[in-house]
Chain A
Amino acid sequence: GENVEQHPSTLSVQEGDSAVIKCTYSDSASNYFPWYKQELGKRPQLIIDIRSNVGEKKDQRIAVTLNKTAKHFSLHITETQPEDSAVYFCAATGDNDMRFGAGTRLTVKP
Chain B
Amino acid sequence: KAGVTQTPRYLIKTRGQQVTLSCSPISGHRSVSWYQQTPGQGLQFLFEYFSETQRNKGNFPGRFSGRQFSNSRSEMNVSTLELGDSALYLCASSFGTSGTDTQYFGPGTRLTVL
Contact A44 B58 (CB under 8 A): no
Contact B33 A98 (CB under 8 A): yes
Count how many chain A residues have C-beta atoms less than 8 Å from C-beta atoms of the other chain: 22
Contact B42 A46 (CB under 8 A): no
CB-nearest residue of chain A to B104: A46
CB-nearest residue of chain A to B98: A98
Would you give 22 A-B contacts (Cβ < 8 Å), ordered by A?
Answer: A31-B99, A32-B100, A42-B107, A43-B106, A43-B107, A43-B108, A44-B90, A44-B105, A46-B103, A46-B104, A49-B102, A89-B42, A93-B98, A93-B99, A96-B56, A97-B48, A98-B98, A98-B103, A99-B45, A100-B35, A100-B43, A100-B45
List B residues at the A interface (Cβ < 8 Å): 33, 35, 41-43, 45, 48, 55-56, 58, 90, 98-100, 102-108
